[in-house]
Structure 1
């Protein structure tokens, strides 16, 4: 992982980056079900899913979110801290064998009035599949130190 010190004043609206792809496997489904306790048949029962509109197992939304965010975790900024996520949406289903990739783009910056010395930076996370379809969108909010 690359370390990069980037203060609040260094963030530019519109800047972004694209990640590499990651193919979703059946193992991902099983491991995520075990970690989350979500053993719903929509994710694990192939025969049941044949009776549903998608005709196959669909990935846990929380798994797609976790992997999508994880793909972006390639830069460590020691002056930025995750403040949370807003507007998380599962736009389209993800299936076993799909390859997802993430794009992040700075969409907003604003000073934090109640926390002098910090600003809030909002980064839009968009996860797409191998067809270029958006499957997940969320806004990641960072609390970032202002330049000393």
Structure 2
């Protein structure tokens, strides 16, 4: 869905929630193949059984990628992603865990180009127990309303 909104239309504290997505063994195997990250914590069930978590852990980068993808239901051609800050892998995600994502408008800042603003969203990914597993800030460069820039 395409929804055009200018920087001024975003309200600090507004949020959106995703639906759930269960992480599978296939997700982990595919991510290992795509990235070359075959670290035993992710792919060696026997070795993991001897470790504190007793099971394989999904790659943090896998959960980050899936979670961000879950936030993209609306396309706004007035903005473009500028990147992510303060990315933290807080808790492990295991095969069979279901993640959901909450994205909250955290802050609005001026941008070096006066026709734009910088929108900062807090992105929190949760497991099925509502524990935060990943948190980060998403930065988006947004167009300001031309009628308000000229004023």
TM over 0.5: yes
Unpaired stretches in structure 2, ≥5 consecutive residues:
147-151
Q: What does residue range 1-148 of structure 1 map to in structure 2 within 5 Å?
A: 2-112=1-111, 114-148=112-146
Shift of 1:100: 0.3
RMSD: 0.5
Aligned residues: 146
Secondary structure at the aligned position of 1:66 is classed as helix
TM-score, normalization by structure 2: 0.96
Runs of 4+ in 1 over 4 A off after TM superposition: none
| Distance in 1, Cα, partners of 2:33 & 2:45 | 17
| Distance in 1, Cα, partners of 2:11 & 2:51 | 44
Unpaired stretches in structure 1, ≥5 consecutive residues:
none
| Distance in 2, Cα, partners of 1:6 & 1:111 | 17
TM-score, normalization by structure 1: 0.98
Deviations 1:7-28 (A, max 9, x none): 0000100000110000000000
